[in-house]
Copies of this chain bind each other. A is one copy, B any other.
Amino acid sequence: MLFHVRMVVKFPFGLDKSRAEELKSAEKKFSQDLQRQGKWIHLWRVAGTYSNISVFNVETSEELHDILWSLPLFPFMQIEVTALSRHPSAIQ
């Protein structure tokens, strides 16, 4: 099942710089593992902002929640989830 997710990252003023770098590295590794597993099937940057638009292919909304909740940057993110379904005009 597909979910469209928009994540916006806001680091609080005062967050230690090296801590932020650690979190970003962990986030990247976490994200790439999920991409390789075919769970996180699209990942785009929204041009000009610290945010992304993603599409996840998961079994259930439980699984989606567990993934997003585990993101290293989760505490610093605003997340908006939209459930998708097949479009009748899609040729794929």
B84 adjacent to A44 (CB under 8 Å): yes
Q: Tell me whether chain A's interface is mostly helix, strand or loop, or mixed.
A: mixed
A interface with B by C-beta (< 8 Å): 1-5, 11-15, 27-28, 31-32, 35-36, 42-50, 52-53, 55, 60-62, 64-66, 68-69, 75, 79-92
Provide a sorted-by-A list of 29 A–B residue pairs whose CB atoms are within 8 angstroms.
A1-B61, A2-B44, A3-B48, A4-B44, A4-B46, A4-B53, A28-B89, A35-B89, A35-B91, A42-B42, A42-B55, A43-B90, A44-B55, A44-B85, A44-B87, A45-B65, A45-B84, A45-B85, A45-B87, A46-B85, A47-B61, A47-B85, A48-B64, A49-B79, A52-B87, A61-B83, A61-B85, A64-B83, A83-B83
